[in-house]
Amino acid sequence: MDQKFLEEMENFFNERLEDLDFYQSTYSPVKAQGGGDIVDQLNAEVDNAFQLKIKKRNSAYRQKLIAAMEKIQNKTYGHCEECGEEIGEQRLRARPTAQMCICCKEELEGIENSTADSPQRVLSFSAKNPPTSWSATACEQSETKGLSEDWKKFVG
């Protein structure tokens, strides 16, 4: 991956983290005033539920940002966690925390949407040791993946 692009993404992640920290520091549960009427109490409850929801979503996003930054550090950022192929700058600009190339992502979503297969089956093909010597394209690789548990033997 292009060093300049990586630096750009790292800056982007840093800024997003600062945004999240800022939001987190302004988070405060709304307390219904003692003696307030039922509408005040309900409003406070709704506000709190809403803030809690955002807080949860932010903390999930925060995890993704941190994971992406760690990947930049250990030079795995921008590689698909499934097939090990480069995800591509264009996709990363659109989805900076993308973990998979578009082929693997679509395949996974297809399987998640069907009840016939379990997503674990696909997820078990970890890209911890991506098969970098393959000459097949990412899409071709992802096609071979679902065929056999014994996929290494199958393709090699």
Report the residue number, 62 or 96, with the smaller CB distance to Zn ion: 96
Report the residue number, 16 or 68, with the smaller CB distance to Zn ion: 68
Inter-residue contact 83 to 103 (CB < 8 Å):
yes
CB of 5 to Zn ion, least distance (A): 19
Report the residue number, 65 or 138, with the smaller CB distance to Zn ion: 138
CB of 57 to Zn ion, least distance (A): 26
Cβ-based neighbours of 156, under 8 Å, separated by 6 or more? 131
Q: Which residues pair with 122 in a beta bridge?
A: none
CB of 155 to Zn ion, least distance (A): 14
Which residues in this chain contact Zn ion in the complex, by CB under 5 A? Answer: 80, 82-83, 101, 104, 138
Distances (CA, A) of 69 to 3, 19, 48, 64, 128: 14, 15, 31, 9, 17
